[in-house]
Chains A and B, each alone.
Chain A
């Protein structure tokens, strides 16, 4: 499904983040905390699984090409304590995402927050039981990101 979106740019910025994301595995071994990502696109697949949930999203670049991103989030037990349900994201849901990118430079990231474009509801996506401090230095358009 390719929904036409406004301002479909994906911003990948190098910035110091102060994100504290809990993972059952080494976050630093997989993700580069110094490379923040801000994405806007449409969900294409959801894996509501342990030890991490994943969703996949299609992001359209300015030149009309598409990138398929995989985003890691917390586990279902942790996400439900933060207000998520297994149906929060569905195929076709338009979202904004902030997070950090995988060290290998692939289209894979760890999502820290997911904002539902429909109502701008902001959902914390990390597996942390603590709150994290988001990087607010590089806002992008849409839902106050």
Chain B
């Protein structure tokens, strides 16, 4: 089937769905509507609409590993395990997000507040209300990652995406080491590579999955996943984390010294 007929077929299906209207049926075990997944005119899954994605607060990535049982841990290298224990011991007070730095990586999909996904012709942009009012860009024009020194290390890395059926697959490299993978203190190196899969099984839910590969911090790839609920009619609000961060002003280091007084003037 050539592209023209594919589009016609999609349009016909869309017309049938439009004629039958909302297919409201409760989700399994939940009294939640399930509406037909929206699509763009060319048949691509529409990841947006008149609303926002109500990102959950995912504090512990381990608990989001498929088949997780209490006590399970990602396959940490010894230094990663030591740092995780240290971060836990001080109530994760050095979490970069506490400094109003961006969440970066998969954590951005598990950090309050809501997010909006905007699909352009050659790129997809995710606008985050939280995480310090940041955005990330996913290139959809077939480009490859920059190589060598051309790859600048950044909070969100360099993302390229493509569609596999109705799933958006995003490959990202080039992360800096200034973020944690999660609130609980799993750390990573700049060897981090993520493969994210976004799907919208029905209008009200975005299913998110991320494979985390980082030979500098983990012995093998591991996966996290969660669902993100749609908030119809909601809009993004203003959130500038840096404005009045009293937490840092009152913060003390491991030796009891004021965190910023110690470093002022540097």
On A, residues with C-beta under 8 Å from B are 22-26, 28-30, 47, 49-52, 54, 72, 75-78, 80-81, 104, 127-130
Contact = CB atoms under 8 A, between A and B. Distances in A.
Ranked nearest first, the 3 interchain pairs of A and B with the lowest CB-CB distance are A25-B98, A77-B237, A29-B93
B155 to A, nearest CB: 15
B60 to A, nearest CB: 13
A26 B95 contact: yes
A127 B112 contact: yes
B238 A76 contact: yes
Contact of A25 (B56, B237, B247): B247
Contacts of A104: 250
B97 interface: yes
B100 interface: yes
Chain B interface main SS type: loop
Interface in B117-164: 129-130
Interface in B210-245: 237-245
B237 A50 contact: no
Given A25-B247, A29-B91, A77-B113, A51 B129 contact: no
A25 B244 contact: no
B54 interface: yes
Nearest to A106: B250
A29 B95 CA distance: 10
A134 B98 CA distance: 25
Nearest to B95: A26
Contacts of A75: 239
Contacts of A76: 237-239
A77 B129 contact: yes
B246 A80 contact: no
A22 B57 contact: yes
B113 A78 contact: yes
Nearest to A70: B246
A129 to B, nearest CB: 5
Contacts of A26: 91-93, 95, 98, 183
A49 B244 CA distance: 6
A127 B112 CA distance: 9
Nearest to A31: B91
B91 A129 contact: no
Nearest to B240: A50
A29 B91 CA distance: 5
A128 B130 CA distance: 12
A1 B183 CA distance: 41
Interface in B171-195: 183
B226 to A, nearest CB: 14
Contacts of B20: none
A129 B113 contact: yes
Interface string B95-113: 1011010000000000011
B90 interface: yes
B231 to A, nearest CB: 10
